[in-house]
Structure 1
């Protein structure tokens, strides 16, 4: 017929999918698989990274919440005294609480980051491509804020276990019960505001730096996938930049979280900052332990990003192998 008449298609049989439209069920399964893979990869990444630096992390928290002057020598002495007094595994005290918190936190953060990247890619018309700088920064910030909001009380518990003697709290549940009974449920959210204010630049800059370095690397090397050691370096740079930018707020939230056991009554962010600066100064107070963070932070973030990427790649390969074998 003439060009103005459209060709009519034969009606589809029951259960048949049009070759011109992808199966909604298939797309839904693909999306679900992607979310599950991101959750698992993020959980594994967080667990491995935090366990690797747990002794340094615990030492940093102890200095953050005290008025003692920090130095590498004093940090070493603290680690060594802890080892002599309580044994090697005491260096990981509070790590069980860290795992309870970091596994869901990292799982949610990495999964949320993948979802926010996809949403922002659709919004800005960059589906399947690397996002422009501003959406790239926004995706990381939103991912960090989402994870922090959903897991905050666990961070509070972890901080308490890290700075108290093991006789005070026997396990994670005991921390929750004792804080709720003696200090009230609101205490579990003490330090929440500085946490959110700190995690937005931290997560935003971390994800932004890592994604940007991978993009620049691909453009200059011609390889879409960096080597493992390159991922570690990119992650280390991301951790260094992200943690340095948000560190004073990290000190403030630790002081507020542990106020019940240190004898202070920190109430507000500005009030806490003012008291820290008055008693200890800006550098020795708000940036106490930063040099240790420059050691442990890049290591932890590098391991975290690398583990996530490699686990994602492995899961995709395993799925493709399973699909091919059918």
Structure 2
């Protein structure tokens, strides 16, 4: 089913959180792309592997994470996919190019939409990878129009996660799959020091809260999904915050920080704080990372009529 976004209802005015997320990614788009290329997310390594010098294997590691999520969730070739929080189109272009999927990507950032559309045109995939500025909870798409919903490191920016799972269930066809990879927090109570660290990460990365992986599973089941499963990838992705891999330049001293904030806006500072905070979060065990998959139930077959 091909969905024409031009006919979809306009999204409501952005909330305060949505506006902050949009501003953050508009401000940092060139920083992320210059350092990390098309994938603005963690990398994935096998046990015993480590990042190459100067982030040399960043592309391979971030590509690997996309492939791991495809395999874990079971995204089928040729599927119609909604990419929630599509960024500049890295995942969407992989799904459209390597798997022959048709992908609709949505993001709050107008700058990301423009860049993703350009990248799709350059790759000759603009017929199968389309990008729109929209709130993931109010896209205007009709019921049951997607085979898969893909949310790679975007759910952390959505405050009402129960509403996200309900909307995903509405948009998926029966038998459709929800594929999530997300930053998470350890299940259970955190120490005061861990709680303070998590709050710093949330503030600098424009995120309202974190959920644990088991909480994500419970939310999916409560929304009506079945065959819900999660996998903890913390050990596989933790190298992403190794300074040699993250490649986030150091900004030395408060004066340099003030000048940067004056030139680009205060939101850009979160980009530079992310690395050390996340590295500490993984080291302490307060922060985790994992994937969740869930399937929309098929309708029960009608009982056969008696002769």
TM-score, normalized by length of structure 1?
0.27
Q: Per residue, is there more helix in 1 or in 2?
A: 1
TM-score, normalized by length of structure 2?
0.28
